[in-house]
Amino acid sequence: MSFDRLIEKIAEKQNPTVAGLDPKLDYVPEYLKEKAFSKYGETLKGAAKALWWFNKGLIDALWDIVPAVKPQAAYYEMYGYAGMKTLYKTQEYARSKGLFVITDGKRNDIGSTMEAYAAAHLGKIRIGNESAEPFIGDALTVNGYLGSDCIKPVVKVCNEYDKGMFVLAKTSNPSSGELQDLKIGERTVYEVMGDMCEEWGKDIMGKYGYSGVGVVAGATYPQQLDTLRKRLPHTFFLIPGYGAQGASARDISSAFDGNGLGGIVNSSRGIMCAYQKEKCGEKQFAAAARREAIRMRDEIMEVVGSIKLVTI
Amino acid sequence: MSFDRLIEKIAEKQNPTVAGLDPKLDYVPEYLKEKAFSKYGETLKGAAKALWWFNKGLIDALWDIVPAVKPQAAYYEMYGYAGMKTLYKTQEYARSKGLFVITDGKRNDIGSTMEAYAAAHLGKIRIGNESAEPFIGDALTVNGYLGSDCIKPVVKVCNEYDKGMFVLAKTSNPSSGELQDLKIGERTVYEVMGDMCEEWGKDIMGKYGYSGVGVVAGATYPQQLDTLRKRLPHTFFLIPGYGAQGASARDISSAFDGNGLGGIVNSSRGIMCAYQKEKCGEKQFAAAARREAIRMRDEIMEVVGSIKLVTI
């Protein structure tokens, strides 16, 4: 139920981080692109194949280090339906390696349309007498601007299939404050959103004290992260902004409780492009990603301390 | 530039309505499903084929009546990458018939990730020395919770490729007020969002007085629709909620200016499922959709009056 499966994987690996799989074509080693383009042409299919080989190499290098991966839907949609096939294959392969899959889609809609998104990404769908799994995710990021009509259909699917969601509260980008920091009475917009998540989560509580309705809270705003943690004791955090976006391990320390639980920190570019930063040669991309994932784990665990599974 | 192409199509057809293509499998006539399942099985591909034939029939029946179609991405994603192929084929076919394609994806993200969505849905992408069009849309719906970092990458692509976007302001669903109606000082959240759209639109003004940054404003809240129209004189409206969701032609009258411009009203289920309501037999689905699209046009044009193209 809820994020219990994620929390158990985090504790097992003593690592509260998630590797973002945002495969821009610029990140992909040339030799993989050449191989794909020579076989499929400089086409959407060729690009999608290159992304798939890149992701597979990354997953093979990371699966025993990180508890989770977070594919960013935009970078797959960017290559059309061929790209969406690579999203599916990436998710499927990550699951086969025991990884928790957080699909970063920031989806949002209402009623039966949101049910369609939830079924697409977290559940199963019915086709005649058969059922099918359109995409494979353990959690989905969601934008809550539309209110309960957007969230409740996802809660339902999460309860049915033992999945979770992360709702955008205070995002890591420079302009996040334009709306999110404005005051509604005594509360900011992101606090109002957070409070709604704490409330929605009551229908989907897990045994470690966290519900299945998490929030996205950026590491680039440590003060707001701290405020949200105090305000939302049962809400699990997905924390972007570490590394390439500028935040440090110290910035995210307040997101964690006394057992080292409460959040998972994302790094995408830092891990995927480690081979470019290391200048170790592109054929070493997977080994470099592994080194960076271990470095990041150790840096964050210094702040978090040890992670203990304590049921409530 | 901006929504000029849409406005010209609306004027040419004297019809400010858009046919939503939200093909739930329940909406698809049995004979099309049987044909698809017998050939491809009760699979994602089978479902995707049935949706494609349904959409093709609808477009063939509607293209000379409506100026635009609005495929809802969720109902394609629901059938995995096979479904996304049907989205592409539907968009491509609609374009070949001269229709303006509004992709209802409510996409949102930041910086280069939002650039990826914008390129995927409204632009082109570069692959080696070639370029490709991942999906085909003339406008995309967008959720602005993340602020300028989400909107500006789309404005850039809209300027480059002569496209537009609709940002969620006051949505048509029952719970839209949970966040959107709350007060930030003197303004509601949806007014704040609307004001930002009016501002963002300054970089992408069209010759008929409307920018390329439109808003979604639900017909189910006529009072708020009226408020937004007065507040946002240069912002074009996408208006859901007519018909199946309960709003009438009278409810949307305030969205239009003295030239009959300013908005486009969506109907999805009303048109797609007209054959079920008429009980005319499922093989008549396309003809029934056409009858309903004509009825809707006439009902709304009674309120709007005639539509005149006046440049500013």
Q: What is the pLDDT of residues A265-278, one digit of tens each?
A: 999 999 999 999 99
What is the average pLDDT across B128-149?
97
Cross-chain CB nearest to A148 (options B79, B178, B183): B178
Please list every residue in chain A whose beta carbon sits closer than 8 Å to the beta carbon of residue B193. Answer: 179
Pairing assessment for the beta strands B263-267 and B237-239 based on DSSP bridges: parallel
Q: Do residues B11 and B307 touch, judged by C-beta distance below 8 A? A: yes
Residue of A nearest to B171 (CA): A146
What Rg do the C-alpha atoms of chain A give, in angstroms?
19
Contact between chains at A143 and B145 (C-beta distance less than 8 A): yes
How many interface pairs between A and B have CB atoms less than 8 angstroms apart? 222
Taking the Cβ of residue B269 and every Cβ of chain A, the question of whether any pair is shorter than 8 Å is answered with no
Residue A243 confidence (pLDDT): 81
Among partner residues B77, B135, B179, which is closest to A134 by beta-carbon distance? B77
Site of tokens 């096979």: B82
The residue among B252, B255, B240, B154 whose CA lies nearest residue B200 is B154
With b for 16 or more beta-carbon neighbours within 10 A and e for fewer, the A11-46 pattern comes to bebebbbbbbbbbbbebbbeebbeebbeebebbbbb
The minimal CB distance from B149 to the residues A24, A146, A173 is found for: A173
Q: According to the model, what pLDDT value does residue B235 have?
A: 98
What's the confidence (pLDDT) of residue A2? Answer: 77
pLDDT at site B1: 60
B77 at interface of A, judged by CB pairs closer than 8 A: yes
The pLDDT score that the predictor gives to residue B243 is: 81
Q: 3-class DSSP state for residue B173?
A: coil
- B30-52 pLDDT tens trace: 999 999 999 999 999 999 999 99
- Our measurement of the distance from residue A125's CA atom to the centroid of its chain's CA atoms, rounded to an integer in Å, reads 23
CB burial class (10 A; 0-12, 13-18, 19+) of residue A201? buried
> Which helix H or strand E contains A193, and what residues bound it?
helix A189-200
User: How does the average pLDDT of chain A come out, rounded?
Assistant: 96
What tokens appear for A110 in the block? 């209402």
Q: Point out the residues of B that are catalytic.
A: 106
CA distance A25 to chain B (A): 8
Contact of A298 with chain B, judged by CB distance below 8 Å, is answered with no
SS3 annotation, A242-265:
EHHHCECCHHHHHHCCCCCCCEEE
DSSP of B235-298, one letter per residue? --EEE--BGGGSB-TGGGGGG--TTS-SEEEEESHHHHTHHHHHT--GGGHHHHHHHHHHHHHH
End-to-end CA distance of chain B: 14
Rounded mean pLDDT of chain B?
A: 96
- In chain B, residues with a C-beta closer than 8 Å to the C-beta of A146 are 168, 171, 173, 175-176
Q: What is the mean pLDDT of residues A297-305?
A: 96
Task: Give all strands (DSSP E) within chain B, no chain letters.
Answer: 17-21, 68-71, 100-107, 125-127, 130-132, 139-142, 164-170, 183-184, 187-188, 213-217, 237-239, 263-267
Contact across the interface for A44 and B134, Cβ inside 8 Å: yes
What is the pLDDT at residue A115?
Answer: 98
| A97 included as an active-site residue | no
Of A37, A78, A129, the CB nearest to B116: A78
pLDDT at position A190 is 97
pLDDT surpasses 80 at A242? yes
Q: Are B141 and B238 in contact (CB under 8 A)?
A: yes
Long-range pairs for B86-90: beta carbons < 8 A, 24 or more residues apart: B86/B48, B86/B49, B86/B51, B86/B52, B86/B55, B87/A81, B87/B135, B88/A80, B88/A81, B88/B134, B88/B135, B88/B136, B89/B52, B90/B21, B90/B51, B90/B52, B90/B55, B90/B56, B90/B59
Per-residue model confidence as pLDDT tens digits over A72-99: 999 999 999 999 999 999 999 999 999 9
Say which of A106, A152, A156, A207 is annotated catalytic.
Answer: A106
Length of chain B: 312
Determine which of A32-41, A268-277, B224-233, B239-248 has the lowest per-residue pLDDT on average. Answer: B239-248
Question: Model pTM?
Answer: 0.98
Q: Which residue of A has its CA nearest to B85?
A: A81
Q: Do A77 and B134 touch (CB under 8 A)?
A: yes
Q: What is the pLDDT of residue A1?
A: 59
Work out the pLDDT band at A247, boundaries 50, 70, 90.
Answer: confident
